[in-house]
Structure 1
Amino acid sequence: MAAQGGYPATPQGQAEALRAIVNVVAAVPGGQGLGVIYREPTWTAVDGAGWDPGDPTSGDGWENQALFDYSGKALPRTAGLHRHRDTRQGREAMTIRTRGFFGRAALALVTVAATGAAAFGVGLAGGTHGAAHAAATLTNGGFEAAGGTQTPSGWGEYSWSGHTSASYTETGGRSGGYRLSHWASSAYQVETYQYLSGLTNSSYTARAWVRSGGGQYEAFMALRNCGGAEARVAIPTTGNWTQISVTAQVSNGQCTVGFVSNARAGNWINVDDVEFAGGPTGNPGVPGGFLVGADFSTLKKNEDRGAVYRDAAGNQRDAVQLLRSAGVNYARLKVWVNPTDGYNNKARVLEMASRAKAQGMRLLVDFHYSDTWADPGKQYKPRAWASYGVDQLRDAVYHHTYDVLSALKAQGTTADMVQVGNEINDGMLWPEGRSNNWANLATFLTAGAQAVRAVDANTRVMLHLAEGGNNSQHRWWFDQATSRGVPFDVIGVSHYLYWHGSISSLRSNLNDLAARYQRPVVVVETAYGFTTAQHDHEPNIFNSSLASAGGYPATPQGQADALRAVFDAVKAVPDGRGLGVFYWEPTWTAVSGSGWDPDNPSSGNGWENQAVFDYSGRALPALAVFGQV
């Protein structure tokens, strides 16, 4: 019979079997799943208490399904069956509360209550109190309800070592008065969780602000019982509040958000401001649907030097309006710290962000942490930071990031997404932050992410690598980042077909990264040439050799087809994790004085044959691809 039941005949198997039944009933739509009653939890084997009321010599065939062991010894603080009303959530629950464990496992279930007038009864919680919320929205994510308490309202606790008291709320919250904490004076194992039901099958992301003193065997946030494999993210060792996130695909209408500690004596974590969002109206972790993006960071400099832009019919138009009308819904703007030419600095980013937001675009801010270009071949520190040590660089990253983003928020153009670094395959802020010193690199990345979250918790953090088809390198890099608890929400890659490989290599890498790290993926830079002809004195980057390597002809139609192929690859990433595509510098046409080198005003433009406007400023067929996604 145990084999037929599907769970092992062990204390833990008993617990998991009951948990499964409770989850099924709690998931009934409309709050109509009323409850679960456990049959005869106290029917242990004693003479004269057999199954047959007509035969006093009959025995008990049920004792191995009771909640008490064969010695009949009462579990600590066994309270018995009672009905109580949880006034904080306006509902009733029928529970059997036990504060002990049958063989360190038995029935470790919290009371699960459905919202509304009807009560949801369960109980039989091994050392648990309270109610693990059973609805489609997460409740009490800030742990403010009821203040400091053993079990936070709306949450459940489970300990397979009998240490549920290691989970509790106390003063010292990040944004409010209280926080969730895990701590005990002896070794402990505990989970604080909340069960969500009635979900639309889609991708969902949980986020939380955390701190940890470290030293645990494990400490993580997880999404489980969502219909697929458990997704988890480690809680990093840090004394500063840091936001972490994890994404899972819900395929069974339900999901459990959990915080787990498997810890030594005295180890601790703090948790606050938990969020759970997603669903069919947006991509996981980033609301707003598929991103059709353009990085037009050089546009202002071009316009100031006389560039004009025309639609396909030849009518002169404002470039940002023209991009928006073509289908672009997301702007990407790079930030340099103190560039010589005065473009792409804080003031210019504020100006261009206002123009983009006025057209209804969302905003991705790309921090280079340099006074000039930062990419896999160079990551020069800003001149003002040249003599800084690691601690000073960490603080400079935080303050520069916070300064720019808080100014954007103050003018009503809050960043929706932020890149902490640009094409950082070999790190940033060389030499201290190169990838051969991941401890420093993780420190810098975490500082940037913390600044993003400090300005606005809804802004998503992206980490961005070049070489979008290089799976082995990307796995190594993101394994390093995740093992060190670097917080991020989105994976960004650059993929230029003529440099970084075929569409198939891009597709394979994106699919693997999305599945392996449970994050949405974006091609945050791509472009292709429509000609190999020159339009200024600067040699073009895209030439006949690269056109051959890219696999598409250097024609207006070839450019459009190459862009469409990249869009198609990203949209095909499984589970809706292909988030979008950004075209790099579609408006960077060749005008005198708007060259590539911010330190040299006579430099030319080697990119004009990859713009989506021809040499007269008229829109090319590639511009129309944005509206066909």
Structure 2
Amino acid sequence: MRSGVFPRPGAVRTAVICAAMVCAAVLVATGRAAAAARPADTAAVRPLAAAATPLTIRGADLSTLQRAEDLGARYYNQNGTQGDAMQILKAAGMNYVRLRVWVNPANGYNNQAKVVAFGRQVKAAGLKLLIDFHYSDTWADPGHQTTPAAWRNDNLSQLETAVYNYTYAVCNALKAAGATPDMVQVGNEINSGMLWPVGQLTGGTGGWSNLAGLLISGYNAVKAVSSTTQVMLHIANGGMDAQARWWFDEAVAYHVPFDVIGVSYYSYWSGTFSGLQTTLNDLAGRYAKPVVVAETAYPFTLDNADSQGNNISSSSQLTSGYPATEAGQRTNFLAVINALKAVPGGRGLGYFYWEPTWTAVTGNGWDPTNPNSGDGWDNQALFNWSGRALSGITDFAN
């Protein structure tokens, strides 16, 4: 992890991640390698495509919004009228909300109780709900899959039971609150497994047999609560087809059931847009499943709103043709949407913009153990530093 940058899912690809994932035998490389050496973005913003039939899922991950609002964050529509952030996004076309859940986070946010309360609000707003199980007390991504402290000494059989019971408990609590999830992720960006070391694919004690057992437990728990809830398997690096094909071939070989394929795609880390199209087309056709871009985002500026360094802070990190401007952010987002629309057979189900409401609010930092930590994502939100909506929100109507 670079100093001053937070380790969030789909984001920082550190030397630790590289060590865990750059293994030819398993084709788990980091997205940063493919994105390296891209030129500074001086090209004109690419033109917006004409609107067509909107995708089925037009979602956003709002996992930090509850805490932001508790700390006094204010949000405004493009006209400058103050309003509820979720309603502002809904009015723009958002129809689905993604919420992560951690087992026992240090500050309490994103735990079961908080997620149930927020899930109730999502459903009351007439929106659909995706629950993203990290199976950790903190961030889980390809380089961080730390087993929750309460489960740390469990063997495989015990972890399978813990995953089932915990997944069932969260989903059932949501159901009891009138917020049955429409979709659930069993794990977050699990390229290299989850619940390390037992469920780790490389360098741990696990392998695919162990990971499959854990994923099957999670799937079964979701379906025991609601047979209609769809289950997503989610990996990072959505522009890298060889990785994705290897991973899902293994999942199928080990008889892991799933309904939806999810990938993260950040154009500055995850490969080219042509690579994204190839991956989406291949996965949808090869496994006959709908595909979702479960995370995407892009900066509207390279400036920083707080003391925390931003994940994307240099022109050398940008994608050619997409400057770090409001227009550049919007067209980058639209390019992801258009890639999904181009998937054959209508299997491009939709997307989730990652943390559009995570503006720099004091106390709403990345580290649940440190209330003084800052926000390294403020320049990729869809609201500016005054809380006013940017034009990128209009992409939810596409």
TM-score scaled by length of structure 2: 0.84
Matched, 1:516 2:286: yes
Matched, 1:576 2:346: yes
In the TM superposition, what is the alpha-carbon distance from 1:546 to its structure 2 partner?
A: 5.2
Larger Rg: 1
1:34-82 deviations in Å (ceiling 9; x for gaps)? xxxxxxxxxxxxxxxxxxxxxxxxxxxxxxxxxxxxxxxxxxxxxxxxx
Q: Aligned residue for 1:323?
A: 89
Q: Distance in 2 between matches of 1:347 and 1:474?
A: 34
Q: Distance in 1 between matches of 2:360 and 2:72?
A: 10
Stretches (4+) displaced over 4 A? none
Pairwise mapping of residues 522-601 of structure 1 onto structure 2 (< 5 A)? 522-545=292-315, 547-549=317-319, 551-601=321-371
* SS of residue paired to 1:622: helix
Q: Aligned residue for 1:498?
A: 268
Q: Distance in 1 between matches of 2:81 and 2:162?
A: 46
Q: Distance in 2 between matches of 1:397 and 1:609?
A: 35
Query: Are the aligned partners of 1:468 and 1:509 in contact in 2 as well (CA < 8 Å)?
Result: yes
Out of 319-328 and 544-553, give the one that drifted further: 544-553
Structure 2 residues without counterparts, runs of 5 or longer: 1-53
As a proportion of its length, which structure holds more helix? 2
1:514-564 deviations in Å (ceiling 9; x for gaps)? 011110000010000000001000001112245434641000000000000
Q: Which amino acid in the other structure matches residue 228 of structure 2? A: N
Query: Are the aligned partners of 1:340 and 1:598 in contact in 2 as well (CA < 8 Å)?
Result: yes
Q: Distance in 1 between matches of 2:302 and 2:320?
A: 13
* SS of residue paired to 2:146: coil
Q: Distance in 1 between matches of 2:129 and 2:355?
A: 15
In the TM superposition, what is the alpha-carbon distance from 1:342 to its structure 2 partner?
A: 0.5
Q: Which amino acid in the other structure matches residue 409 of structure 1? A: K
Q: Distance in 2 between matches of 1:496 and 1:489?
A: 23
Match of 1:343 among 109, 124, 132: 109
Q: Aligned residue for 1:174?
A: none
* SS of residue paired to 1:292: strand
Query: Are the aligned partners of 1:529 and 1:547 in contact in 2 as well (CA < 8 Å)?
Result: no
TM-score scaled by length of structure 1: 0.54
Q: Distance in 2 between matches of 1:551 and 1:445?
A: 39
Query: Are the aligned partners of 1:547 and 1:553 in contact in 2 as well (CA < 8 Å)?
Result: no
Matched, 1:489 2:259: yes
Q: Percent identity?
A: 57
Q: Aligned residue for 1:295?
A: 61
Query: Are the aligned partners of 1:588 and 1:607 in contact in 2 as well (CA < 8 Å)?
Result: yes
Q: Aligned residue for 1:446?
A: 216
Q: Distance in 2 between matches of 1:406 and 1:533?
A: 43
Matched, 1:399 2:165: yes
* SS of residue paired to 2:104: coil
Pairwise mapping of residues 148-297 of structure 1 onto structure 2 (< 5 A)? 290-297=56-63
Q: Which amino acid in the other structure matches residue 222 of structure 2? A: V
State the superposition RMSD in angstroms. Answer: 1.1
Query: Which structure would you say has the larger RCO, counting Cα contacts within 8 Å and 6 or more residues apart?
Result: 2
Q: Distance in 2 between matches of 1:388 and 1:580?
A: 37
Q: Which amino acid in the other structure matches residue 389 of structure 1? A: N
Q: Aligned residue for 2:3?
A: none
Q: Distance in 2 between matches of 1:565 and 1:604?
A: 30
Q: Distance in 1 between matches of 2:378 and 2:55?
A: 30
Structure 1 residues without counterparts, runs of 5 or longer: 1-287
* SS of residue paired to 1:625: helix
1:449-502 deviations in Å (ceiling 9; x for gaps)? 000010010001100000001111111111110011101000000000011122
Query: Are the aligned partners of 1:498 and 1:550 in contact in 2 as well (CA < 8 Å)?
Result: no
Q: Distance in 1 between matches of 2:65 and 2:264?
A: 20
Matched, 1:314 2:80: yes
In the TM superposition, what is the alpha-carbon distance from 1:414 to its structure 2 partner?
A: 0.5
* SS of residue paired to 1:587: coil
Query: Are the aligned partners of 1:468 and 1:493 in contact in 2 as well (CA < 8 Å)?
Result: yes
> Between Structure 1 and Structure 2, how many residues are aligned?
341
Query: Are the aligned partners of 2:293 and 2:351 in contact in 1 as well (CA < 8 Å)?
Result: yes
Q: Distance in 2 between matches of 1:551 and 1:447?
A: 44
Would the alpha carbon gap of residues 369 and 614 (structure 1) be closer, same or farther in structure 2, given more than 3 Å must change? same
Query: Are the aligned partners of 2:55 and 2:341 in contact in 1 as well (CA < 8 Å)?
Result: no
Would the alpha carbon gap of residues 290 and 624 (structure 1) be closer, same or farther in structure 2, given more than 3 Å must change? same
Q: Distance in 1 between matches of 2:162 and 2:395?
A: 40
In the TM superposition, what is the alpha-carbon distance from 1:404 to its structure 2 partner?
A: 0.2
Q: Distance in 2 between matches of 1:547 and 1:586?
A: 20
1:258-287 deviations in Å (ceiling 9; x for gaps)? xxxxxxxxxxxxxxxxxxxxxxxxxxxxxx
Q: Distance in 1 between matches of 2:375 and 2:185?
A: 25
Q: Distance in 2 between matches of 1:551 and 1:501?
A: 14
Query: Are the aligned partners of 1:320 and 1:355 in contact in 2 as well (CA < 8 Å)?
Result: no
Q: Which amino acid in the other structure matches residue 309 of structure 1? A: Y
Q: Which amino acid in the other structure matches residue 191 of structure 2? A: N
Q: Which amino acid in the other structure matches residue 273 of structure 2? A: I
Pairwise mapping of residues 63-102 of structure 1 onto structure 2 (< 5 A)? none
1:219-277 deviations in Å (ceiling 9; x for gaps)? xxxxxxxxxxxxxxxxxxxxxxxxxxxxxxxxxxxxxxxxxxxxxxxxxxxxxxxxxxx
Query: Are the aligned partners of 2:302 and 2:315 in contact in 1 as well (CA < 8 Å)?
Result: no
In the TM superposition, what is the alpha-carbon distance from 1:599 to its structure 2 partner?
A: 0.7
* SS of residue paired to 1:497: coil
